[in-house]
Amino acid sequence: MIWAMNAVQVLLLILLAPLVRGVIARLKARIQNRRGASVWRPYSDLFKLFRKEDLVPASASFVFRLAPIVLFATTLVVAAFVPLLYGSALVGVTGDFVLLVYLLALGRFFLMLGAIDGGSSFGGMGASREALVSTLAEAPFLLALMSVAIGAHTGTIAGIVQWTVGQNFFQFSAVHALAFVALALVAIAETGRIPVDNPTTHLELTMIHEAMVLEYSGPSLALIEWASAIKLTVVMALLIALFVPWGMATSLTAAALAIAALVLLLKMAALVLVLALMESSVAKLRMYLVPDFLGVASALAILAVVFTALMR
């Protein structure tokens, strides 16, 4: 029964990811006084791309077509780590945060290689910039997750969620506040949103992720776009699960699950709104200011880890 629940959670994450992207885009459009595309647009984009053929540069090797597949597979496995409705996940018992961070790194590594394999300047440029951002984001990501894990005395994400649910909402812990801000900053860098990267730009001055995928088309591009949407949804679900998991079902009854689904919807909606507002009001950072941005996240994460020992 629990297995079915966990599998359902993964499927929900995968299938709803493009919708999340669509809603964010629509909200941003409305905030910017435009009508915006339909929220179902990403789905029709994916259908269209899957029906087309792959255009592959003649000089590319097998890595070019392998990269989107590896990226999608690793992002899918990462989706299996995060509890959504019930305090357990498909890879819940022994999956844990280091494996999560490094699986994301595996996908990103292959994406960088695929970008370079395209043989154009854009690919190298995107890969080089992505290398900078991801290098500096990995340490705060791990440290913030570690500070929360230390507090919960367990290394698994499902375990952290179960511990947090048992905590009192009003007892703000300095560790959690700092870790939340640090993770939020890292999440912006990892998913490539403003102010670190503009997901809708095509100017070479401002591209990071877009530059890496410039050469891709057809099903490969569909896999990359879908993986990027899943990553965004998973990171948002991770933030919700680790810091505000109250409302999750504690028993596998239909009523509890329905309430949990509703609460999750509300929390996701709130996060989506905050993200859309922030993306519409903050300017994208110049690339050499991004290390500064991630430096702030690192300082917060380091402070969070030190506080776990100080506040015992």
Partner 1 sequence: MGLFESAAARALASSGVFLFMTVLLIAAARRISTCIGLYSLQSLVITAQIAAVSRMHHSAQGFAIAAMVLTVKVAAIPYALYRIVEELKAPRDVSSSTSPSQSVFIAAGLILLSFFAVRPYVGVLGGDQAMLAAAVALVLTGGFLMVSRKKALMQVVGLLVLDNGIFLAALATTFGMPLVIEIGIVFDLLMGVFLMGLFVFRIRDTFDHLDVSKLRRLRG
Partner 2 sequence: MTQVAFSLFLVATLSVPVVTLISRRWTKARALPAVLLMASLATGIAVAGAGFWDGQRFTVEVSQVASFSFALSVDRLSAFFLLLICSVSLPVILYSSSYIPRHYSGARRDWLWVLLPLFLMSMVLVVTASTAFAFLFGWELMTLFSAGLIVIDGDSEERRHNIFIYLLMMHAGAAAVIGAFLLFLPHAGNFAEMRASATLMTPALRTAVFLLAFVGFGTKAGIVPLHLWLPRAHPIAPSPVSALMSGIMLKTAIYGLVRFAFDFLGGGPSWWGYLALLAGGVSGLLGVLYAISEHDLKRLLAYHSVENIGIIYLGLGAALVFMANHAAVWAALALTAALLHCLNHAIFKSLLFLGAGAISDATHTLDLEELGGLQKRMRLTGAVFLIACCSIVGLPLFNGFVSEWLTFRSFLAGSELTDLSAAIVLPLAAGVLALIGGLAAACFAKVYGVAFLGRPRSHEAESANEVSWPMQAGMLLLAVACVAIGIFPGMVLGSLGALTEELIPGAALPQAAALLSAVLPWIALFVLVLVAGMAAFKRAKKLTATWACGLPGLDERMQYTSIAFSKPLRKVFSQVYKADRTLNVIPADQPYFPASISYRSVRTTSFERLLYRPGVDAIVAAAYRLRRLQTGNIQIYLLYIFAALIALLMFMRWV
- Structure-block tokens of residue 276: 């859309």
CB of 154: closest distance to partner 2 in angstroms? 10
Return the one option of partner 1, partner 2, none that residue 170 interacts with (CB less than 5 to 8 A, by type). partner 1
Return the one option of partner 2, partner 1, none that residue 251 interacts with (CB less than 5 to 8 A, by type). none
Measured distance CA(75)–CA(109) in Å, rounded: 12
Judge contact between 180 and 236, C-beta under 8 A.
no
Please name the residue that has the structure tokens 């402070």. 303
State which of residues 12, 66, 259, 261 lies at the interface with partner 2 (CB under 8 A): 66
What residues from 275 to 294 belong to the interface with partner 2 (CB under 8 A)? 287-288, 291
Q: Does 106 bind partner 2 (CB under 8 A)?
A: yes
Which of 99/302 has CB closer to partner 1? 302
CB of 239: closest distance to partner 1 in angstroms? 17
Q: Does 113 bind partner 1 (CB under 8 A)?
A: no
CB of 164: closest distance to partner 1 in angstroms? 15
What is the separation of C-alpha 285 from the centre of its chain, rounded to a whole number of angstroms? 20
Other beta carbons less than 10 A from residue 198's beta carbon: 19
Q: How far apart are the first and last CA of the chain?
A: 38
What residues from 289 to 308 belong to the interface with partner 1 (CB under 8 A)? 291-296, 298-300, 302-303, 306
- Structure-block tokens of residue 154: 């367990």
Q: Does 76 bind partner 2 (CB under 8 A)?
A: yes
Return the one option of partner 1, partner 2, none that residue 311 interacts with (CB less than 5 to 8 A, by type). partner 1
State which of residues 203, 205, 254, 310 lies at the interface with partner 1 (CB under 8 A): 310
Q: Does 101 bind partner 2 (CB under 8 A)?
A: yes
State which of residues 14, 116, 157, 263 lies at the interface with partner 2 (CB under 8 A): 116
The upper half-sphere exposure of residue 209, i.e. CA atoms within 13 Å in the direction of its Cβ, equals 21
- Structure-block tokens of residue 240: 């919700």
Return the one option of partner 1, partner 2, none that residue 247 interacts with (CB less than 5 to 8 A, by type). none
CB of 209: closest distance to partner 2 in angstroms? 15
State which of residues 23, 24, 136, 186 lies at the interface with partner 2 (CB under 8 A): 136
Judge contact between 39 and 190, C-beta under 8 A.
no
Return the one option of partner 1, partner 2, none that residue 102 interacts with (CB less than 5 to 8 A, by type). partner 2
State which of residues 33, 53, 58, 172 lies at the interface with partner 1 (CB under 8 A): 172
Which of 24/187 has CB closer to partner 2? 187
Judge contact between 96 and 156, C-beta under 8 A.
yes
The dihedral over CA atoms of 261, 80, 186, 267, expressed in degrees to the nearest 10, equals 0
Measured distance CA(125)–CA(213) in Å, rounded: 11
- CB neighbour list of residue 251: distance below 8 Å, 6 or more residues apart: none
Question: What are the C-alpha distances in Å from 96 to residues 232, 233, 282?
Answer: 19, 18, 33
Please provide residue 171's backbone torsions phi and psi, each rounded to the nearest 5 degrees: -85, 80
State which of residues 11, 15, 174, 262 lies at the interface with partner 1 (CB under 8 A): 174
Residues in contact with partner 1 by CB under 8 A are 168, 170-174, 177-178, 181, 291-296, 298-300, 302-303, 306, 310-311
